[in-house]
Structure 1
Amino acid sequence: MSKKLLITTLACMLLLGSVGCAEMKAQQPKPESPRNVIIMVMDGTSSSAVTLARWYKGRDLALDQILAGGVRTYSAQSAITDSAAAATALATGNKTDEHYIGLLPSIITTPGKQDENPKHALMPVANVLEGAKQVGKATGIIATSEIQHATPAGFSTHVPSRKQQEDIAEQQVYQEIDVVLGGGAVHLNKRKDQENLQKVIKEKGYQWVDTRSELQKANGKKIWGSFAEESLAYELDRPATKPSEPTLAEMTSKAIQTLSKDEDGFFLFVEGSKIDWAAHNNDIVGMISDVLAFDEAVKEAITFAKKDGNTMVIAVTDHGNSGVSLGNMQTTKSYAHTPVDNFIQPLKKAKRTVEGALEDLKEDRSNIKQVAKQYGIDELTNHEVRMLRNSRNVRADLCAMIAQKANLGFTTGGHTGEDVFLYAYGPSHPTGYLENTELPEKMAEFMGFHLEKVSQSLFMNAKEHFEKQGYVTKMDHAQKYNPVFVATKGDLSIEIPANKNIMMVNGKTHKLNGISVYNGTDFFVSEQVKEFLP
């Protein structure tokens, strides 16, 4: 036994006792086992939302068992980040600008973060999913929003704007991620470029599923589940409005079951997407609904990690949202003797989120009392009924009414810039007070790769490389939505389409180990192209 190990063991025995030592031993990686990472993001979740969810549930959350530290969330240009910049930080280890996905920033105003090299602007940088693929691991992404939304996109794609959801969809398909589960079918088969990505997915050997029952029965090595044209329902609404959709926990369980068959291990990203959307609407019922749904998914991940012994689990939010608070101006003088029930019981009356309740609202609002009751507001005065019938924003007014009844406050309908909690479990899991950019570095180290080196191998500037070799290059925009990089020299013609993992050499197609990225100015391609040139 080494001196260092002996000291560690003795310290463990003296300070923690036999139970603590057993836990420490369980947290050590098994040397010959594949290393897995599961990162789980509850989008736009301020700590007060988690506190309310715990009170609502009436007992501890799975998250509470793995609290490990705190995380700073600011972006390259603001103390308050958007989801695209936050996802890029969590996935690539780089701060960036609003709306950028997987690209370096153009504007850096955060103190101490300036980059003096203007050539770095809009350069793609590898994410942890791409790194995991390069070392042979199976990969997966899950979201309750469109799978092409900002946060899942940040862990799988590279575009100048999060609004480029058709480009994001194409890149995700050609990344050949093993398991993809969520919403967003509209971006696969109703596209401006007329490409039928659903057909491409099936041609690539995926088992396609679009219902909960089909997902439960799925047994393929590659599964693509698209359960809604846009986003999935909130968990509170799902049994009544969309029972054919799976829960986040069910998607997580199926993904783990499928990916864990890979002998090299796996990387899985999971997002509870719509907590953020509820927070934007100040819909506390929706927030609690999907914090609890997320927590059930965390339980699935921890259960697997405890059995496996070689899986790192990280759960975190990308940023706060809404400034929700337990207590408002009504409790200024009464907070010290306001019982928990005064906050929680008004919320427990709700049978649906505001989104789910409003699905039943008639155009003339004649059933507004019934809709309000679905949302937990069952004692409307005549004045309140008239107000809701004439409201310019009935959603906002319903949310404000239930917040008032529950003694809750909101400061904004947007994101907030506070530090957030870090939850983690498993061998080598991160602890302490960290930058969000440190988390992907720790994941990459655990899985056995270096993100900067992966970036260098996957994203070579195509124009610079080919012109040094004597080629003439251009961007071909003949197909408006599908730009192609073209390089010619003598009778040799190279064509590389954006957003895909293929290149054509004199018409012969070759598969690349990563997607090609066009940022609107420069084109980037895997260094692997060199293998297919004469």
Structure 2
Amino acid sequence: MKQDAFRSFRRSIAVLAAACLVLSGCRTEEKEPTETVPEYEAASAETKKTPKYIFLFIGDGMSYSQIQLTADYLGLEKSGKTVPESLSFLDFPVTGSLETGNAESFCTDSASAGTAMATGKKTKTGVLGMDADGVRTESITEKLKAQKGFRIGLATTVNLNHATPAAFYAHQPSRNLYYEIGGELLAGGFDFLAGGSLLEPTGKKEEGVSLYALAEQTGYQMIWGKPQTVDWTGKVWITASETDAKGALPFLLDGGGGWTLADSVKAGIQALQNGDGFFLMAEAGKIDWACEANDARTMIEEVSGLDLAVQEAVRFQKQHPDDTLILVTGDHETGGLSIGNRENGLKTHLDLLSGQQISFARYEEELVTQYKKQQMAFTSVQSELAEWFGLGEGGLALSEEEWNLLKEAYQETLDTAYKGRSPLIQAVGTLIAEKAGIGWSTGQHSGQPVPVFALGVGAERFAGWQDNTDIFKHLAELTGVN
């Protein structure tokens, strides 16, 4: 209600400002009074069409800075000049902005943000598919399947019972109830699923029936790795054969594991188009993970991977221009990323990011772990830092003082117990960011707005400053679900 009142206030201010201009002498030609146009009634005839094929791409943790930094880096890499490289969705004809706060904070999490977009209801942090009072809310995917017979697909680079995909089928008070969430995934009977492995597939105590076994019993074709022979008319579940320590697809900077979000979208189109219509939600979930680690180079590859997935949808849209809607957005911003920092002022040196060959996460899991076990001397670690991050001569040059800071951070890594990132990788990340001319204000989420890009049938509805719940509202209106 407060948001509605605030929007009404802003509209009133706009009307008052226009009236003041007229009274102050800015005369316009007098016209016959016209009827007030109801909200969301657009002049384009497209508004009255119903999209048959809907793609919703969500970059988890992705906002304006993540997109701009990716475009800037790719442009510099391609031309050697400060000219951004356009990503496919930056060319979409309609752009808007979404407020992302939830029912109790201006800074949301993925569960409550996903719920807002999927159901049109604000909820509390960590809650899935329920409003702020704990009342079950039905998602756009559930409605489209039940009321319109749409085939439904979910694809992600993380786990299918992780927060964002779960918001489109689950109804739980906590995003951490992975086994219960997985059970709801099976009950939903969606037609296409693709991503990493499930979290806790036999429950927290590993005493439950395997969700994978239950999936086969409910008719899913379980495919591990790249599909070979598939009956695309049935229910298809693809799990990447190579995953990271958390069961997600590996970061693209680390090789990607042979299966990408673009692969999932391409397979999803094959699986879903044999029906009356489809809805495919595709999440680039590890943009968020890279930004939590303040790992700009890894984040850039993940945003680029999202762009490749969007390109698959755009190719489909060109074949079905009168029936397709594509949306690209984020659920929240992560990291408080800025282009420019107090150390460099207005100078950026994004080329210094190119020396990084491995994600901070993988370096931490595989190499720092070995350093601690072997109590490796810092002189040996220095050569590793040069190899994996380009630190030193011929790359990102460091002063003696800066090397001493890294040495101190490494010693702290060896000597102390810590949670999250090691002191060494934190120090490495800080130096790279400072010298490249970018900034991070947090290792968590921020309350910044996120963009939404729209192409196709009904795209004009997503223009302007809106709330994340409007994603659901516009989709419901366009498709005519109750």
* TM-score, structure 2 as length reference: 0.77
The aligned amino acid for 2:281 is F
Determine the structure 2 residue equivalent to 1:162. Answer: 175
Aligned to 1:231: 248
**Residue pairs, 1:84-163, within 5 angstroms:** 84-105=111-132, 121-134=133-146, 135-163=148-176
What one-letter code is carried by the residue in structure 2 that aligns with 1:50? I
Q: Which residue of 1 aligns with 2:219?
A: 205
1:411-462: CA deviations, max 9, x gaps? 1112111222111111012222211111111112222302xxxxxxxxxxxx
Superposition deviation, residue 372 in structure 1: 2.5
Q: 1:356 aligns with which of 355, 359, 362?
A: 362
Aligned match of 2:435: 405
Question: Does structure 1 residue 434 correspond to structure 2 residue 466?
Answer: yes
Deviation sequence 1:106-125 (CA, Å, 0-9, x none): xxxxxxxxxxxxxxx10101
Shift of 1:86: 0.5
1:37 to 54, 66, 69: 54
1:187 is paired with a residue whose SS is coil
State whether structure 2 residue 332 is matched by structure 1 residue 322.
Answer: no
Partner Cα distance (2:235, 2:302) in 1: 27
Structure 2 segments unaligned to the other structure (5+ residues): 1-43, 76-84, 393-397, 414-421
Name whichever structure is richer in strand by fraction: 1
Query: How many angstroms does 1:388 deviate by?
Result: 4.3
CA contact (8 A) 1:101 1:154 kept: yes
Q: Which residue of 1 aligns with 2:390?
A: 377
1:347 aligned onto 2:353: yes
Output one character per residue of 1:6-58: Cα deviation in whole Å (capped at 9) or x when no partner.
xxxxxxxxxxxxxxxxxx89x68878xx7121111101123111111001221
1:369 and 1:260, CA in 2 relative to 1: closer, same or farther beyond 3 A? farther
1:71 and 1:436 in contact (8 A); partners too: yes
Contact 1:357/1:374 (8 A) holds in 2: no
Q: Is the 8 A contact 1:143 1:271 kept in 2?
A: yes
User: Paired residue for 1:218, among 207, 230, 242?
Assistant: 230
Q: Aligned with 2:157: secondary structure?
A: strand
Distance 1:216 1:346, change over 3 A: farther
Q: Using the alignment, how far apart are the partners of 2:203 and 2:386 within structure 1?
A: 37
Are the structure 2 counterparts of residues 436 and 194 from structure 1 closer, same or farther at C-alpha, using a change threshold of 3 Å? Answer: same
Residue 177 of structure 1, CA deviation:
0.9
Q: 2:277 aligns with which of 249, 265, 280?
A: 265
SS of equivalent residue, structure 1 residue 330: coil
Q: Distance in 1 between matches of 2:480 and 2:185?
A: 23
CA–CA distance in 2 between the matches of 1:359 and 1:75? 33
The verdict on how the C-alpha distance between 1:51 and 1:137 changes in structure 2, with shifts beyond 3 A counting, is same
Question: 2:458 aligned with 1:421, yes or no?
Answer: no
Q: CA deviation at 1:164?
A: 0.7
Secondary structure of the residue that 2:156 maps to in structure 1?
strand
Deviations 1:86-130 (A, max 9, x none): 01100000111111101010xxxxxxxxxxxxxxx1010100110
Query: Using the alignment, how far apart are the partners of 1:305 and 1:360 within structure 2?
Result: 42
Q: Post-superposition shift, 1:374? A: 5.0
Provide, for residues 472-519 of structure 1, a one-character-per-residue CA deviation record: whole Å limited to 9, x for no partner.
xxxxxxxxxxxxxxxxxxxxxxxxxxxxxxxxxxxxxxxxxxxxxxxx
1:60 aligns with 2:74: no
1:126-166 Cα shifts (integer Å, max 9, x gaps): 00110111121110111111111111111111100011111
Give distance in 2, aligned partners of 1:440 and 1:364.
53
Matching of residues 436-451 of structure 1 within 5 Å: 436-450=468-482
Per-residue CA deviation, residues 218-255 of structure 1 (Å, 9 max, x unaligned), is 3433211222462111111125xx34xx1111111111
Q: CA deviation at 1:385?
A: 5.0
* 1:272-317, Cα deviation, whole Å (9 max, x unpaired): 0011111111111221111111111111112212211211111111
Distance 1:129 1:287, change over 3 A: same
Partners of 1:433 and 1:139 in 2: CA distance: 28
User: For 1:303-334, what per-residue CA distance to the aligned partner results, in whole angstroms no more than 9, with x for missing partners?
Assistant: 212211211111111111111111111123xx
> Is 2:198 aligned against 1:185?
yes
Q: Per the alignment, in what secondary structure is the counterpart of residue 422 of structure 1?
A: strand
Give the secondary structure class of the aligned counterpart of 1:38.
strand
Aligned with 1:295 (options 290, 304, 307): 307
Alpha carbons of 1:324 and 1:159: their partners in 2 closer, same or farther (altered >3 Å)? same
Deviation track 1:381-430 (CA, whole Å, cap 9, x = no partner) reads 55255234314323322221211221111111121112221111110122
Counterpart CA distance in 1 for 2:58 and 2:201 is 24
Task: Write out aligned runs for 1:447-458 (5 A).
Answer: 447-450=479-482
**Contact 1:360/1:371, CA 8 A, preserved across alignment:** no
The one-letter amino acid paired with 2:108 is T
Q: Deviations over 1:168-224 (max 9, x none)?
A: 11110111111111113343246544212111111222221121x3x3653433211
CA gap 1:350/1:73 in 2 versus in 1, 3 angstroms:
same
Aligned-partner residue type, residue 88 of structure 2: A
- SS of structure 1 residue aligned to 2:73: helix
Counterparts in 2 of 1:368 and 1:360: CA distance versus 1, 3 Å: farther
Deviation at 1:359, TM superposition (A): 4.0
Name the count of aligned residue pairs.
395
Q: Does 1:283 align with 2:282?
A: no
Q: Partner of 1:523 in structure 2?
A: none
Partner of 2:404, secondary structure, is helix
Distance in structure 2 (CA, Å) of the matches to 1:128 and 1:368: 51
Shift of 1:343: 2.7
What's the TM-score, normalizing by structure 1? 0.70
Tell me, yes or no, if structure 1 residue 83 matches structure 2 residue 110: yes
Q: Which residue of 2 aligns with 1:518?
A: none
1:330–1:407 Cα contact (<8 Å) kept: yes
1:175 aligned onto 2:175: no
| Letter matched to residue 93 of structure 1 | G
Instruction: Give the distance between the partners of 2:161 and 2:383, measured in 1 at CA.
Output: 35
Are the structure 2 counterparts of residues 87 and 176 from structure 1 closer, same or farther at C-alpha, using a change threshold of 3 Å?
same
Separation of aligned partners in 1, 2:408 and 2:451: 39
**Separation in 1 of the partners of 2:254 and 2:383?**
16
The answer to which structure, 1 or 2, has the higher relative contact order (CA under 8 A, 6+ apart) is 2
Stretches of structure 1 lacking an aligned partner (at least 5 in a row) = 1-23, 106-120, 451-534
